[in-house]
Amino acid sequence: MSPLRKELSALKIDINPKRWISSYHNTSIVHLILMVLFYHAIGFLFLLVGSAAIQFSMNGSVGSNLPRYLAPVLGAGPIEESVFFGIPYYATGNQFVVIISGVTWVMLHIFNTKSIDIANFSYSNWLFVMPSFFYSLRTWISGKGWFAILAHSLWNGLFFMLGCTYDEYPCAISPVSEMPSIYSLISVVLSAFIVVLLTFLFYKRRRRIVDETGKSR
């Protein structure tokens, strides 16, 4: 079978909704890229259809989002992926624990708003990240968590740049009123380093347990 046909066969298997909480059939870089594009395309579809439904049911309201700044946007990739997927997975080795923490991650996105009110919930943000839950879950349990972090960070960075270009977001590292930009950047980098390090330590511990269990059999 040619590489192209092999990839198309693996893609056909992995886009089947019945496998959306299972590890990938193929974990090549090309396959991981195609899967992240697949789930983000579904996210856009959810955003378009869901926003229209919410506008209709709530008299034109689709909620509101907090302003985004470069430091937290870039830090979200390693921090969110590690806290909600990597650490739960490697700490417990239980896929269903990761499903619970991942669903929590999805639900928190609806509160990306200035006021906790049903009319102001960030429905657009919530709808878009729903399919990303499956991507992150599957990527981590497939042993490619590093790619989930990279893809999350690149995607966030791309959209921040687009939002900044079209004046949707402030073109700033952090809110000036909170702390100087350099301190905000340092705090995000330090936080990201800590949680990624914890993820790696839990990964090493999980590998040791698996190796010892295998040797004892």
Under DSSP, is residue 64 helix (H, G, I), strand (E, B) or coil?
coil
pLDDT digits (tens, 9 = 90+) for 70-109: 888 889 999 999 999 999 999 999 999 999 999 999 999 8
What confidence score (pLDDT) does residue 180 get? 57
What confidence score (pLDDT) does residue 152 get? 95
Under DSSP, is residue 69 helix (H, G, I), strand (E, B) or coil?
coil
Ranges of H-type helices in 58-122: 70-81, 87-92, 95-108
**Contact in structure between 86 and 97 (CB atoms under 8 Å):** no
What confidence score (pLDDT) does residue 59 get? 64
What confidence score (pLDDT) does residue 216 get? 41
What confidence score (pLDDT) does residue 68 get? 78
79-83, 147-151, 170-174: which has the minimum mean pLDDT?
170-174
Residue 43 to residue 133: CA distance in whole angstroms: 10
Residue 112 to residue 18: CA distance in whole angstroms: 31
**Contact in structure between 174 and 184 (CB atoms under 8 Å):** yes
33-42, 142-151, 188-197, 205-214: which has the minimum mean pLDDT?
205-214
Structure tokens at 200: 């790696």
Query: Does 169 have pLDDT greater than 90?
Result: no
pLDDT digits (tens, 9 = 90+) for 107-146: 998 887 766 666 667 788 889 999 999 999 999 999 999 9
pTM of the model: 0.88
What confidence score (pLDDT) does residue 177 get? 55
The amino acid at residue 136 is S
What confidence score (pLDDT) does residue 26 get? 92
Residue 6 to residue 13: CA distance in whole angstroms: 11
Structure tokens at 160: 């921040």
Could you please report the per-residue DSSP string of 111-172? Answer: G-SSS--TTTS-HHHHHHHHHHHHHHHHHHHTT-HHHHHHHHHHHHHHHHHHHHHTTSS-SS
pLDDT digits (tens, 9 = 90+) for 15-60: 999 999 999 999 999 999 999 999 999 999 998 988 788 777 766 5
Q: Which residue has the tokens 């991942």?
A: 102
Mean pLDDT of 151-176: 83
Backbone angles phi, psi at 37, to 5 degrees: -65, -40
If pLDDT is split at 50, 70 and 90, which confidence band does 217 have? very low
Quote the distance between the C-alpha of residue 3 and its chain's center.
Answer: 29
Choose between 173 and 204: higher pLDDT.
Answer: 204
If pLDDT is split at 50, 70 and 90, which confidence band does 65 have? low
Residue 206 to residue 158: CA distance in whole angstroms: 33
